[in-house]
Structure 1
């Protein structure tokens, strides 16, 4: 089977199918770069999540309804603690790093004419785009949250539109402002197809994640049952095991990012025919790649 060509129009089924084909063909390098560039954030997310869960267990186990001091009254219900915000911060960093890694891989894959990029090339893209993607993600998340608060529908509408911003920024090497405006132009008359692809992939990922979440739930329920007679809720060991298992689900984010990027290529090629124009411009040149200067970071 030949390598997947990214820049071409696709229908709904082709986007879904090519998402899995692309990931299957490039699974080893994608997984390698995932751990190289996202490994630190994965470990930090795991550690802070475990710490947050242990703090929650301690508050619940020490709760005394007959005591009226501040810690006892609000301990079990105090979710938004410093460790909670720290864990959420690393979750955001982890997701952004995964997005930058996968999108950089696909951008370089296209530039190298369907060839896997090397580590040095990936590092150049990653360090150039990470902070830009991080700042953009905060703005995008805020817009979607605000849209969801004000009657859910705006938030649902913005989700597929905003999902195109990072692919545009990284693949076209543009600013957030341009990517933001261009995402609305691309999605026009194609919102339902893009939304449908994202929903289908999310459903597939949800089903796949059950492979991990079901064992985690069994471990958690078993721990609660075994510790019930001791007057506690769940053991620290069970928290550590379930949290580590749940972190493996984050690898599946690669699929949704690849699908989103293929949606971007589909919309771009369908509306602008960028890849076709590039081929036309190369006609008559003896060595079409000889004048290309690699990007420097």
Structure 2
């Protein structure tokens, strides 16, 4: 059995990705228990609203609802009239699920490190989640807004900012920092290491995307095959297959834990490379003398 991974250390490209999956493997039960404990409600609520929304969209595509699609898919009130409250609930629950997932995973890693590579309890995690939830939610809103503007201007600014802004969240949780401090610090940490961080995150996301596609592809192929075999029937999408796809997509959100772990390891790699934080902690502990009470008393 491999020893528990030491989080705070320098890693190269392949070691970071390898240690990500090793960490998940070693902590799969407590980590996924935390995921479903704190994100389960939002996933369930989001799945239900997404199922009703998908049924409505499928019926519209199949022409089983009155009114031409082009005239109904307009901006303003017509979107609400067409898709209903399910559309907005799906978006809201998705954003809440992602936020809870981030807070839960970052809190798990922070407590894991503090406890000396031991899985935290549910009560300990809940304390961290309550404390950091609104901070992470606000940071997500601002960073996504800035990324949106970045991608709007020729994509390049958005691509450049994406790996930098990803570091904001571990800085907030691991250093108990404000958004302003984390915003400035992420630029400092990633300096001269942008390509390494970007490459690690891209490869990890590709792996996760392939995993999610492998799970949802069978149900999606049912609709694709139906369109190929019966083109004369119009869209002819299967409501059952569409609903199954939506359910599998929401359950597959558990895989998003993996790139968040990767971001954590990128943070530790950058802090150790630039600041040697863990080394300084070890040096400071050299002067701490801890008597071993299991040894017999010396006799003279």
Aligned residue in 2 for 1:75: 72
Q: Is the 8 A contact 1:63 1:76 kept in 2?
A: no
Q: Distance in 1 between matches of 2:233 and 2:193?
A: 57
Q: Is the 8 A contact 1:201 1:259 kept in 2?
A: yes
Aligned residue in 1 for 2:60: 59
Q: Does 1:260 align with 2:258?
A: no
Q: Distance in 2 between matches of 1:235 and 1:20?
A: 36
Q: Does 1:50 align with 2:44?
A: no
Q: Distance in 1 between matches of 2:216 and 2:57?
A: 20
Q: How does 1:110-149 map to 2 (within 5 A)?
A: 110-149=113-152
Residues 31-62 of structure 1: CA distance to partner in whole angstroms, max 9, x if unpaired?
Answer: 10000000011112111211211222233324
Q: CA deviation at 1:219?
A: 3.0
Q: How does 1:1-297 map to 2 (within 5 A)?
A: 1-60=2-61, 61-62=63-64, 73-75=70-72, 81=83, 82-221=85-224, 233-287=236-290
1:249–1:98 CA distance, 2 compared to 1 (3 A): same
Q: CA deviation at 1:236?
A: 3.2
Q: Which has the larger radius of gyration?
A: 2
Q: Distance in 1 between matches of 2:183 and 2:25?
A: 31
Q: Is the 8 A contact 2:219 2:242 kept in 1?
A: no
Q: CA deviation at 1:96?
A: 1.1
Gapped runs of 5+ residues in structure 1? 289-297
Residues 86-105 of structure 1: CA distance to partner in whole angstroms, max 9, x if unpaired?
Answer: 21121111111111111100
Q: Is the 8 A contact 1:59 1:76 kept in 2?
A: no
Of 71-80 and 195-204, more deviation after overlay is shown by 71-80
1:128–1:110 CA distance, 2 compared to 1 (3 A): same
**Secondary structure of residue in 1 paired with 2:192:** coil
State the Cα RMSD in Å.
2.3
1:141–1:17 CA distance, 2 compared to 1 (3 A): same
Equivalenced residues, count: 283
